[in-house]
Amino acid sequence: MTYSHRPVLLDEAVTALLGETTLENAIYLDGTFGRGGHSRLILERIANTSQLWAIDKDPQAILEAKNIIDSRFRIAHTSFSKMSDVVLPKSLDGILLDLGISSPQIDQAQRGFSFRMDGPLDMRMNSEVGQSAREWLAIADEKSIAKVIKEYGEERYAGSIAKAIVASRDEGVVIATTKQLASLVASVVRTREYDQDPATRTFQAIRIHINQELSDLEEGLNMALQLLKPAGRLVVISFHSLEDRMVKQFMQQHSKFSVPRGLPLRESELPKSPLKIIGRIKPSASEIAQNPRARSAVMRVAEMVGT
């Protein structure tokens, strides 16, 4: 089956990444290739002498990348948290990260990301390695499950959900499918926003835990400071508050230096901050109308300082 996917804020993200001037001999990194929407548009807009590196955990993304026949393009099967294994320090003119999961991943029941379709409870971005959601729920203790659901899903019923999962397991019922987990959560979470499924926060939390998404993001952001050239752009699109908060705080932290009060330094003597914040963009009303999944997206852009 062929799955279509148009990235949220596609034009805005590529425009922010490349800036107003087309650079010769530039190198860009698409750290979340997905199904190649960003990469294809970047290749349309960069110079013939420039290059685009892409990265993705998902084996299906790597297969999709084989459809791009362009000598300027190459892809690596890894996490963007391992960018330094792929490119050299201070070699990049731009890094793009489109966080979370793509529509094709959600829409394939066998991937186990969606509570709307029944499928094996997997949730791994790279289904070839690591522990699946089913395997984790089969052995994790109640306290660990509750902590993940509370911290990564911001779910106020986390304790009750964890208790129900462990009780079901103790009764010999293996939670092996997405529908099983969604039904169990719905039996515990009696109230929720009218337009949100009771299982939304729990599925998000377990997915983040299984794929180590926040630790990967933290590592990837810090690595960007080492890999970007002066004036290189960092563009990050987030889809939930935990990611966006981390990106916002990272950019704020590295866009200013804290100097102890009373320290006798002139402004010219202060160290330069490594980043300059360019801005924050949300999807337009028309984009949200065409793609409701865009409604939670936030794009933040920063630029490396230097000459």
Architecture of domain 10-98+213-304: 3-Layer(aba) Sandwich (3.40)
Provide the residue ranges of all domains of the chain, joining segments of one domain with +.
10-98+213-304, 109-211
Q: What percent of the chain has pLDDT over 70?
A: 92
Same topology between domain 10-98+213-304 and domain 109-211 = no
| 157/154 Cα distance (integer angstroms) | 9
77-91, 194-208, 222-236, 269-283: which range is least confident on average?
Answer: 269-283
Please report the pLDDT score of residue 243 as a whole number. 96
Q: In whole numbers, what is the pLDDT of the chain averaged over residues?
A: 91
Rounded mean pLDDT, 105-131: 91
92-98/228-238 β-pairing: parallel
Q: Which residue has the higher pLDDT, 159 or 265?
A: 159
Record the pTM: 0.91
CATH number of 109-211: 1.10.150.170
Which DSSP string do the residues of the chain spell out, in sequence order?
-------TTHHHHHHHHH-SS--TT-EEEES--TTSHHHHHHHHHS-TT-EEEEEES-HHHHHHHTT---TTEEEEES-GGGGGGTS-TT-EEEEEEE-S--HHHHH-GGG---SSS--BS---SSTTSS--HHHHHHH--HHHHHHHHHHHH--TTHHHHHHHHHHHHHTT----BHHHHHHHHHHH-----TTS-TTHHHHHHHHHHHHTHHHHHHHHHHHHHHHEEEEEEEEEEESSHHHHHHHHHHHHHTT-----TT----GGGSPPPSEEEEEEE---HHHHHH-GGGGG-EEEEEEE---
Query: Residue 1 — very low, low, confident or very high, per pLDDT cuts 50/70/90?
Result: very low
pLDDT in tens, 143-186: 999 999 999 999 999 999 999 999 999 999 989 999 999 999 99
Residue 284 has pLDDT above 90, yes or no: yes
User: Mean pLDDT throughout 118-142?
Assistant: 95
Cα R_g (the chain), whole angstroms: 21
pLDDT at 191: 67
Percent of the chain with pLDDT over 90: 81
Which one has a higher pLDDT value, 226 or 20? 226
C-beta of residue 165 within 8 angstroms of C-beta of residue 133: no
CA atoms within 13 A on the CB side of 296: 14
How would residue 2 be classed by pLDDT, with cut points 50, 70 and 90? very low
Looking at residue 266, its pLDDT comes to 56
- Residue 199 in this model has a pLDDT that exceeds 70: yes
